[in-house]
Copies of this chain bind each other. A is one copy, B any other.
Amino acid sequence: MTGRQANKLVALGTFVHCHSRQAIEFMHNSVVCVDENGKIVRIEKETGEGRLHAKAHAVIEELGWHHEDVNWHVCEPGQFFFPGFIDTHIHASQYPNAGIFGKSTLLDWLETYTFPLEASLASLPKARQVYTACVRRTLAHGTTTAAYYATIDVAATNLLADLCLSIGQRAFVGRVCMDDKGLNPDYYRDESAEASIQKTKEVIEHIESVDPSFDIVAPILTPRFAPSCSKEAMTGLAELQREKNLAVQTHISENKGEIALVAKLFPDSDSYAGVYDQYGLLTPRTVLAHAVHVTTEEADLIASRGAKVSHCPCSNSSITSGAARVRWLWSRGIEVGLGTDVSGGYSPSVLEAARQAVLVSRHVAMGVEQEGEEKEAAKLTVEEVLYLATRGGAKCLGMEERVGGFEVGKEWDAQMIGLAVVGEDGEKTGEGNVDMFGWENWEERMAKWLYNGDDRNTKKVWVKGRLVHERK
Q: Kindly state the separation between the CA atoms of A348 and B322 in the bound complex, as whole angstroms.
A: 27
Contact between A426 and B136 (Cβ–Cβ < 8 Å)? yes
Interface assignment of A455: CB less than 8 Å from any CB of chain B: yes
Q: Which of B129, B320, B422, B450 contacts A425 (CB 8 A)?
A: B129
Interface bits A89-116 vs B (CB < 8 Å: 1, else 0):
0000001101111110000000000000
Q: Kindly state the separation between the CA atoms of A148 and B393 in the bound complex, as whole angstroms.
A: 41
From A182-190, A362-370, A459-467, the one touching the partner chain is A362-370
State how many residues of chain A have any CB contact under 8 Å with chain B: 61
Knowing A363-B317, A363-B363 are in contact, say whether A132-B425 is a contact too (CB < 8 A).
yes
Chain copies in the assembly?
2
Q: Which residues of B are found within 8 Å of A422, using beta-carbon distances?
A: 129, 133
Interface assignment of A128: CB less than 8 Å from any CB of chain B: yes
Interface assignment of A258: CB less than 8 Å from any CB of chain B: no
Contact between A426 and B366 (Cβ–Cβ < 8 Å)? no
From A203-211, A237-245, A302-310, A427-435, the one touching the partner chain is A427-435
Q: Kindly state the separation between the CA atoms of A435 and B323 in the bound complex, as whole angstroms.
A: 28
Q: Kindly state the separation between the CA atoms of A98 and B433 in the bound complex, as whole angstroms.
A: 10
Q: Kindly state the separation between the CA atoms of A423 and B133 in the bound complex, as whole angstroms.
A: 9
Contact between A363 and B323 (Cβ–Cβ < 8 Å)? yes
Q: Which residues of B are found within 8 Å of A49, using beta-carbon distances?
A: none
Interface bits A398-428 vs B (CB < 8 Å: 1, else 0):
0000000000000000000000001111111
Interface assignment of A454: CB less than 8 Å from any CB of chain B: yes
Q: Kindly state the separation between the CA atoms of A99 and B137 in the bound complex, as whole angstroms.
A: 24
Contact between B346 and A426 (Cβ–Cβ < 8 Å)? no
Interface bits A441-466 vs B (CB < 8 Å: 1, else 0):
00010011111101100000000000
CB distance from A305 to the nearest CB of B (A): 28
Knowing A322-B366, A323-B366 are in contact, say whether A426-B103 is a contact too (CB < 8 A).
no
Contact between A448 and B99 (Cβ–Cβ < 8 Å)? yes
Interface assignment of A376: CB less than 8 Å from any CB of chain B: yes
Q: Kindly state the separation between the CA atoms of A434 and B349 in the bound complex, as whole angstroms.
A: 12
Interface assignment of A86: CB less than 8 Å from any CB of chain B: no
Contact between B346 and A452 (Cβ–Cβ < 8 Å)? yes
Q: Kindly state the separation between the CA atoms of A423 and B427 in the bound complex, as whole angstroms.
A: 35
Knowing A129-B426, A133-B428, A317-B362 are in contact, say whether A346-B451 is a contact too (CB < 8 A).
yes
CB distance from A346 to the nearest CB of B (A): 4
Contact between B426 and A131 (Cβ–Cβ < 8 Å)? yes
Interface assignment of A125: CB less than 8 Å from any CB of chain B: yes
Q: Which of B133, B318, B455 contacts A426 (CB 8 A)?
A: B133
CB distance from A122 to the nearest CB of B (A): 16
CB distance from A224 to the nearest CB of B (A): 23
Knowing A102-B381, A103-B381 are in contact, say whether A128-B362 is a contact too (CB < 8 A).
no
Contact between A451 and B98 (Cβ–Cβ < 8 Å)? yes
CB distance from A90 to the nearest CB of B (A): 15
CB distance from A21 to the nearest CB of B (A): 14
Interface assignment of A379: CB less than 8 Å from any CB of chain B: yes
Contact between B347 and A451 (Cβ–Cβ < 8 Å)? yes
Q: Kindly state the separation between the CA atoms of A301 and B277 in the bound complex, as whole angstroms.
A: 56
Knowing A317-B362, A363-B317 are in contact, say whether A426-B99 is a contact too (CB < 8 A).
no
Q: Kindly state the separation between the CA atoms of A450 and B362 in the bound complex, as whole angstroms.
A: 23
Contact between B99 and A320 (Cβ–Cβ < 8 Å)? no
Q: Kindly state the separation between the CA atoms of A318 and B362 in the bound complex, as whole angstroms.
A: 7
Which chain A residues in 197-243 approach chain B with CB under 8 Å? none
CB distance from A329 to the nearest CB of B (A): 18
Residue of B nearest to A113 (CB): B444
13 A-B pairs besides A100-B444, A132-B426 with CB distance below 8 A are: A99-B449, A100-B440, A100-B447, A102-B381, A102-B382, A103-B379, A128-B426, A129-B424, A129-B426, A136-B427, A137-B435, A323-B363, A347-B452
**21 pairs of residues in contact across A and B, judged by CB atoms under 8 Å:** A98-B451, A98-B452, A99-B434, A99-B451, A100-B444, A102-B447, A103-B376, A103-B381, A125-B424, A128-B425, A130-B437, A133-B437, A136-B427, A318-B359, A320-B366, A346-B451, A347-B433, A347-B451, A348-B433, A359-B359, A433-B455
A residues with CB within 8 A of B: 95-96, 98-103, 125, 128-133, 136-137, 317-320, 322-323, 346-349, 355-356, 358-359, 362-363, 365-366, 376, 379, 381-382, 422-428, 433-435, 437, 439-440, 444, 447-452, 454-455
Closest 9 CB pairs of A and B: A132-B426, A99-B451, A346-B451, A99-B448, A317-B359, A133-B426, A320-B362, A129-B426, A96-B437
